[in-house]
Amino acid sequence: MRNKKRSKPRTTSLRWKTNGVVSNISVTIDRLSGTVSPSSVEPGSVFSVVSYDRQSGKEKVLVSAPATVDAPAFDLDLQLSLRSSKLIAIDTNTKHICGRRVSVTCAYFSDLSYRTSTGATPIEPLCAYAILDSAPEVNAERIGWNLVLKNHVNLGAISATNQVGIVIDSDLSDLQALNSRKKPFYENNFLPDGFFFLFASSDGSSDHIASDMISLCDRSASMILNHMSSTQFEFGSGNQDDKNCADYFFLELIMPPMQK
């Protein structure tokens, strides 16, 4: 399904893997409910994807979120609201400052069940971290995910009916493996029950609340890094309990709430 209101027309698609090797596939479309039901689906492989084609012809994925064949296939908002009640977006940017490799992680939070009087969904700052000299073989993004999940999420408050989507802008090809707990998201840490990853690109800002949230994370991290660089920021001694970086620091992220 295409949205022609944008300069680059968006395509919304429902994608899945078959459950093993099959010789044929049949698909049932319910025009009344908007559901698309394939004959063979690998569990956990269904994703709702918003994308567009670059001039090169290569696809640019803007949002990819776990979905279900029991909901309207091309309604990403509904697919996501049926799966989760809260979103946390996490993004990490890196810059060399005063001879140090500095990565800044920023996270924003949104309660999808809450609406203002105008029908908007607030997006609020959650936290920020500065990570110093991360190991070259380790993705600093994943260090940031671990810090946010470890220090800012009350895992005991999450139930099977109150799931949380974690919006990231990397590791698109690993989403299914991370969500099915076949791969750890950091070291030997697997996603806890009640959490799942979804992908959103900051290039797709205003396409979806997930895109807006990851864009806010990206801009905030860049602003902090630029400030550190322009002021020749000096780092003291921080937390040294992560072997994959020299130090990390908690930063107070003071930003006005946004609305989507």
Checking if the pLDDT of 163 tops 90, the result is no
The pLDDT value given to residue 153? 82
pLDDT at 33 over 90: no
Where do the DSSP E strands lie in the chain? 2-3, 10-15, 27-30, 35-38, 47-53, 59-66, 86-97, 100-111, 122-132, 164-168, 195-200, 247-251, 258-259
Q: Lowest mean pLDDT: which of 135-139, 159-163, 189-193, 221-225?
A: 159-163
pLDDT of 138: 95
Tell me the pLDDT band of 107, cut-offs 50, 70 and 90: very high
Phi/psi at 23 (5° precision): -90, -20
pLDDT of residue 172: 95
Q: What is the pTM of this model?
A: 0.89
> Per-residue pLDDT for 225 more than 90?
yes
Region 248-259 average pLDDT? 75
pLDDT at 196: 95
Reported as a pLDDT band with limits 50, 70 and 90, residue 120 is confident
What is the pLDDT, as a whole number, of residue 198? 97
pLDDT of 256: 58
**Can you give the pLDDT at residue 38?**
87
Is the pLDDT at 156 greater than 80, yes or no?
no
Q: Is 92 helix (H, G, I), strand (E, B) or coil?
A: strand
Tokens 């049926």 map to which residue?
A: 82
When mean pLDDT is compared across 34-43, 58-67, 158-167, 212-221, the lowest value belongs to 158-167
pLDDT at residue 129 tops 80: yes
For the chain, how far is it from start to end, CA to CA, in angstroms?
23
**Residue 116 scores a pLDDT above 90:** no
> For residue 4, what pLDDT band results from cuts at 50, 70 and 90?
very low
pLDDT at 252: 79
Confidence of residue 257 (pLDDT cuts 50, 70, 90): low
**Gap between the Cα atoms of 86 and 82, Å rounded:** 11
Give the per-residue pLDDT at 158: 63
